[in-house]
Amino acid sequence: SLIFLFPPLLSPVGGEQISSIGRGLCVLLGISLEDTQRELEHMVRKILNLRVFEDESGKHWSKSVMDKQYEVLCVSQFTLQCILKGNKPDYHMAMPTEQAESFYNNFLEQLRKAYKPELIKDGKFGAYMQVHIQNDGPVTIELESPAATVDPKQLTKLEKQQQRKEKTRTKVPSESSRERNAPRNKDDPSASSGAEGDVSSEREP
């Protein structure tokens, strides 16, 4: 999961205002294919306890959204799972829509259970939304779930390496290579006394 936090937000869709909050947090949630209940619970705790607001004396980074009894507005945003391949965005790491909607609704439910239900607002899942954010500060914080140990940029490299390995494994040896690797007759004077090396131990690229 990737979450970006902004305080605060207004959220109209096609001219119709779906949801809005005053002071608080706007949570943009990108749900990954690999996200589970564990990641969900971690994110809920972080969002509600992250100290991004000032205290009564004006000291910054002292109070959480719960401490201040502020609102939270959540927006599902699969584009946070974008991987750039050249200039083209690729979203194959984002959870599919039906599964993601269930996950997102569960996320909202857990937030409401852990805080005050009336202070948790959300947009419209899957809708084209015009999001207006009045970012106080501005403050934008990225949260990443514990499971997101692989950098998405590195993931593409790992996928390419895996594809190259698969090609190597499925490659049929040519006639000349079969002859080279065929066991030589011990009566052959040109035969080497050393091991010729097994085809299966071919070095990976």
For 32-48, the DSSP string reads BTT--HHHHHHHHHHHH
Peptide bond into 138 cis (omega under 30): yes
Cβ neighbours of residue 196 under 8 Å, at least 6 residues apart?
Answer: 181, 183, 184
H or E, element range at 194: none
> Is 58:105 a contact under the CB 8 Å cutoff?
no
3-state class (DSSP) for residue 143: strand
Taking every pair of Cα atoms in the chain, the longest distance, rounded to a whole number of angstroms, is: 94
Locus of tokens 């599919």: 96
Question: Does residue 79 carry a catalytic annotation?
Answer: yes
Q: Whose CA is closest to 21, among 92, 80, 69?
A: 69
Tokens of 41: 């619970």
Catalytic residue among 36, 79, 97, 140: 79
Catalytic positions are 79
